[in-house]
Each structure stands twice: as C-alpha cells, then as structure tokens.
C-alpha cells in the first residue's frame, strides 16, 4: 500500500523526526488560512498515491494567502497523473542549504539496505555517488548503521552523529511498520541548522497487514486512495472486463514516450527491464496474453496511444502457445488505423512468436512493419528499436 505524504509524515513525527510546518487543506480557503498562519512562503502538494508530482504540475508555490488559494484551486480543478485531487498539503517553504536522498528497502536477495546520496531532489536516480549499508531486522537498529551511512557520505563530528541518528530512526520505522520502501527525497539541511524531511515515499507490505492493524487504521485517506485507479488504469480495466477473452487490462502509466504491449508467460517484467536497460522511456507497463480478441487489443492500443506523450508503440512477447500472434497483429493495426494513424509510423517493433506466427508475419509485411521472429531474442528486439521515419 502506498501511503499519502501527509499520513507518512505523521508516522515519521512519532519517531521524533522533523517535517515542515503545515497541514492538509480540503479547499482553497483552507489553503489560504494555513498560509496565513505560517506567515511566509508555502509549498502546496497534491496528495495522490503516486510519484512524479513536480513534473506533472502537482506541486505549486505561493508567497501569500491569495496566491495559496489560487494555487490550491488549480490543483483541485485538475487531475494530477490521472488522479482527482481532494487533499492538498500546505507546508512552509524551507530555506535549503543542502539536500540528501535516503532510502530504506530490500535488495534482490531480501536483505535490508539503507541507501543514500548527496544529490537529493528530482531525477535523483540519475545521480552518481550512492552509498549503501545493510542492516539486521532488529529494533532498535544498531546505532552504527546510521553513522556508517553518514560517514560514507563524508559527514564528520556532530553532523555525522545527527544524520546517523535520523537514518537509524528511519530504519527503525521501516522495520516496525513492515514497509517495503521508505524513501526520503529530499532530506534537507536548512539555513537555521535543521534537518527536515521535505518529502517522503512510504510503501507498506500488504501481506503484513494483519499485524499492522493499528497503523493501517490511522491511514484512513491512504487506504481509500490505494483502492482507486487513475482514469487510464480504470479504462484499461473496463476494456478487459468488456470481453472475457484473454487478458489485456493491467496497465500502469509512466511518463515516457514509448507505448508498450508486452507479455508472454511472465516475460513482461523481463521485457520492461530490457526497455529500461536500453535507455528507452516506457509510457506504460502492461501485460497481455491468453488470446485476447482483436477488439480488445485494438481498444487497448488506442488507449495507450491516446496518452499525449506517447509517440510510438512496441509490441513484444515471449514465445507463446496460448495466444494467437495474428490476433495481436490485427488488433494493434486496427487500433492504429481507427486513430487515423499509419501503422508503420507508429509500430517500432513487433515480436510475438508462436501460434499463427506466419499469418502474423504476412499481416505485418502488408503494412511494411518489420517482424522479429523467435530467432531474435528480447534484447535483440529492444536494441533494434528506432523511431519510425
């Protein structure tokens, strides 16, 4: 479960960790009143269960109560990454001297790790200089864990002790709450010497919900938000439910320009990773299979291409036996044609080897779309992706 920022910060405050002064507004007048009380510049943040708010316009700034009311109304009037905004967190705008990134999670082998970087903020994943330290699953976590991370970041003296204490408390919370991810980005050092958690991303393990009832009962808004889908996700589910044949409705939106129709015996994650490793920017994750109808594939294709940022489409599956390749080809082309677009100018890769593969190849050749057979690996296909001219 993804925890909304304001409720995650309420949990952090119980660990004696500092967050900015502020509270949640449900309308523009409340945002104005909170800014009046803070008596200084404020940051207004849409409370939605997803990241990428800054780039999507979900974070606004104000220097006066009137500006705060206007900024809040903008957020309430618009969807952010497909979500309706019904809560806005209004906080003091911090005078920042330095920013850090800190995350607590598990590695691929299930070992708890604390990660940190001196480069906090937007696009931190592109930064260099990450440090890491594993930790045991005990509370309280040994104090040296936090100090070791701070030491690797170059901290000394009182700064090492202060930052080490914050990191150790974050690890304590991560373990105590049965979290999967506790990401602080950024942790800021202010001009008046405070360490303040400016933003937090917290995800809890649903499989541990039975032993976290008290915590979950305190996360009323997050529980409701976790059960909601964006318009994009909801429409995909509607498409899937409208036709019982096959699976073609599990979509998650991202911010890239390459639409994806992927799947085949659990290979969708492998394909998605290959797309990322190639430096491409996926616009969505999805999974198709089980012989979806031509109508269902066409409807899903149109939904993916309807995103304003999506320019091209890659159709990649593992070798399949229970999905007819020709139905996928017919559906994708049908969807593109119904949008009034030219298939060869949209499809940048097509690999669905298996049942009815020859028919699929003939269909694609008719529309002058390159076909990748089973002799081409998934990595081969992804590496060959180029934007159609």
* 336-363 pLDDT, tens digit each: 999 999 999 999 999 999 889 999 999 9
The kind and range of the H/E element at 115 are: strand 112-117
Which CATH number goes with the domain that contains 88?
3.30.1490.20
Query: Do 263 and 216 fall into the same domain?
Result: no
pLDDT for 229:
62
Query: Do 87 and 198 fall into the same domain?
Result: no
Is 49 among the domain residues?
Answer: yes
Is 41 among the domain residues?
Answer: yes
Cβ neighbours, 10 Å, residue 35: 29
Q: CB–CB of 15/184 below 8 Å?
A: no
Is 203 among the domain residues?
Answer: yes
> 236: which residues sit within 8 A by CB, 6+ positions away?
248, 249, 250, 251, 286, 300, 303
Structure tokens at 277: 């490793």
How many independent structural domains does the chain possess? 3
Q: CB–CB of 92/22 below 8 Å?
A: yes
pLDDT for 228:
60
pLDDT for 319:
83
DSSP 336-349: HHHTT--HHHHEEE
Is 13 among the domain residues?
Answer: no
pLDDT for 388:
64
pLDDT for 94:
96
Query: Do 189 and 240 fall into the same domain?
Result: no
Q: What is the pTM of this model?
A: 0.66
Is 7 among the domain residues?
Answer: no
Quote the DSSP letter at residue 354.
B
Query: Do 273 and 297 fall into the same domain?
Result: yes
Is 219 among the domain residues?
Answer: yes
Tens of pLDDT, residue by residue over 239-270, are 988 888 888 767 888 888 999 999 866 688 88
Where a domain ends, among 92, 114, 131?
92
**Mind listing the pLDDT tens digit of every residue in the chain (389 residues)?**
899 999 999 999 999 999 999 999 999 999 999 999 999 999 999 999 888 899 889 999 999 999 999 999 999 998 888 788 999 999 999 999 999 999 999 998 889 999 999 976 555 554 557 899 999 988 889 989 999 999 999 999 999 999 999 999 999 999 999 999 999 999 999 999 999 999 999 999 988 988 998 998 899 888 877 666 677 888 888 898 888 888 876 788 888 899 999 986 668 888 999 999 999 999 999 888 888 999 999 999 999 999 888 989 999 998 877 789 999 999 999 999 999 999 999 999 999 998 899 999 999 999 999 889 888 999 999 998 876 65
Q: Which range marks the domain in which residue 379 is found?
A: 231-383
Query: Do 252 and 329 fall into the same domain?
Result: yes
Where a domain ends, among 207, 226, 245?
226
Where a domain ends, among 64, 92, 120?
92
Query: Do 212 and 339 fall into the same domain?
Result: no
Is 372 among the domain residues?
Answer: yes
What region does 84 belong to: left with phi over 0, alpha with psi -120 to 50, or beta? beta
Alpha carbons 339 and 329: distance in angstroms, whole number: 16
Query: Do 59 and 135 fall into the same domain?
Result: no
Query: Do 255 and 349 fall into the same domain?
Result: yes
Query: Do 193 and 248 fall into the same domain?
Result: no
pLDDT for 264:
66
Query: Do 188 and 249 fall into the same domain?
Result: no
Rg (C-alpha) for the chain, rounded Å, is 24
Query: Do 260 and 281 fall into the same domain?
Result: yes
- Separation of CA 116 from chain center: 19
């Amino acid at each position: 479960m993804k925890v909304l920022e304001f409720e995650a910060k309420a949990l952090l405050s119980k660990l004696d960790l500092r967050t900015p002064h502020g509270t949640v507004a449900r309308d523009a007048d409340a945002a104005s009143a909170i800014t009046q009380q803070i008596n200084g510049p404020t940051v207004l943040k849409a409370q939605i269960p997803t990241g990428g708010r800054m780039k999507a316009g979900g974070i606004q700034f104000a220097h006066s109560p009137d500006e705060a009311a206007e900024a809040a109304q903008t957020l309430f009037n618009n969807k952010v990454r497909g979500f309706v905004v019904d809560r806005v967190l209004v906080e003091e705008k911090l005078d920042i001297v330095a920013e850090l990134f800190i995350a607590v999670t598990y590695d691929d082998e299930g070992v708890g790790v604390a990660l940190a970087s001196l480069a906090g903020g937007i696009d931190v994943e592109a930064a260099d200089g990450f440090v890491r330290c594993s930790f045991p699953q005990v509370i309280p976590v040994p104090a040296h864990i936090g100090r070791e991370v701070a030491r690797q970041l170059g901290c000394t003296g009182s700064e090492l002790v202060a930052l080490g204490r914050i990191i150790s408390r974050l690890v304590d919370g991560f373990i105590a709450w049965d979290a999967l991810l506790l990401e602080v980005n950024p942790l800021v050092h202010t001009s008046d010497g405070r360490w303040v958690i400016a933003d937090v991303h917290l995800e809890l393990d649903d499989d541990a919900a039975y032993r976290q009832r008290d915590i979950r009962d305190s996360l009323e808004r997050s529980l409701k938000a976790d059960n909601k889908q964006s318009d994009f996700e909801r429409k995909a589910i509607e498409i899937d439910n409208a036709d019982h044949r096959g699976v073609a409705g599990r979509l998650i939106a991202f911010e890239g320009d390459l639409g994806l129709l992927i799947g085949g015996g659990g290979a969708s994650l492998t394909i998605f990773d290959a797309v990322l490793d190639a430096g491409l920017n996926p616009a969505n994750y999805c999974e198709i299979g089980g012989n979806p109808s031509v109508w269902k594939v066409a409807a899903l294709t149109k939904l993916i291409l309807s995103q304003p940022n999506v320019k091209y489409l890659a159709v990649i599956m593992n070798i399949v036996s229970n999905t007819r390749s020709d139905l996928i080809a017919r559906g994708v082309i049908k969807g593109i044609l119904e949008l009034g677009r030219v298939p060869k100018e949209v499809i940048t890769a097509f690999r669905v080897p298996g049942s009815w593969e020859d028919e699929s190849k003939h269909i694609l050749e008719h529309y002058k779309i390159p076909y990748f057979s089973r002799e081409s690996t998934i990595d081969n296909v992804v590496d060959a992706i180029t934007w159609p001219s």
